[in-house]
Amino acid sequence: MRILIAEDDPASRQFLSKFLSQYGECDQVVDGLEAIDAYVMAMKDNNPYDLICLDIMMPKVDGVKVLKAIRDLERQNNIPPSESVVIIMTTALGATDHVHEAFALGCNAYAAKPIDTAKFAEMLKKLNIIPATALESAAAEEAEP
């Protein structure tokens, strides 16, 4: 599985990468323009991302605009919704207007920071990104002292 993490905060980016690397290959970008570029390059290489984690507040282009750009590119390339990349918005913002806008533009889920890994793994399972067995191992990992 290919995963793109678009996050400007180094600690959050490393945390997500460390957690998600157990499920697949993680690429990291620090702003919205890099996220769009990485998505386009992956499509050109015929090696698309399976999951994109987008921070809402990023420099250059915010996560909501990146989400819109990706969904627009999918439509332009006739990618059916069943084959669209799964996009999870992440943010420390509690502002519901950003969340509603992101869902209206086609995000699949929303995760508040700091990320709770057990809840995040459960979300990935519900989105069919990881199998149920992976969820059990993630929960066991959380329980370890």
Mean pLDDT, range 2-22, rounded to an integer: 96
pLDDT reported for residue 91? 84
Domains of the chain by range and CATH? 2-143 (3.40.50.2300)
- φ, ψ for residue 88, nearest 5 deg: -110, 125
pLDDT reported for residue 134? 54
Map tokens 């809840």 to a residue: 119
The answer on pLDDT for 26 being more than 70 is yes
Closest CA to 5 of 115, 98, 97: 115
Mean pLDDT, range 72-99, rounded to an integer: 87
pLDDT reported for residue 81? 87
pLDDT tens column, 92-134: 766 567 788 999 999 999 998 889 999 999 999 999 998 877 5
pLDDT grade for 49, boundaries at 50, 70 and 90: very high
Closest CA to 127 of 102, 101, 107, 97: 107
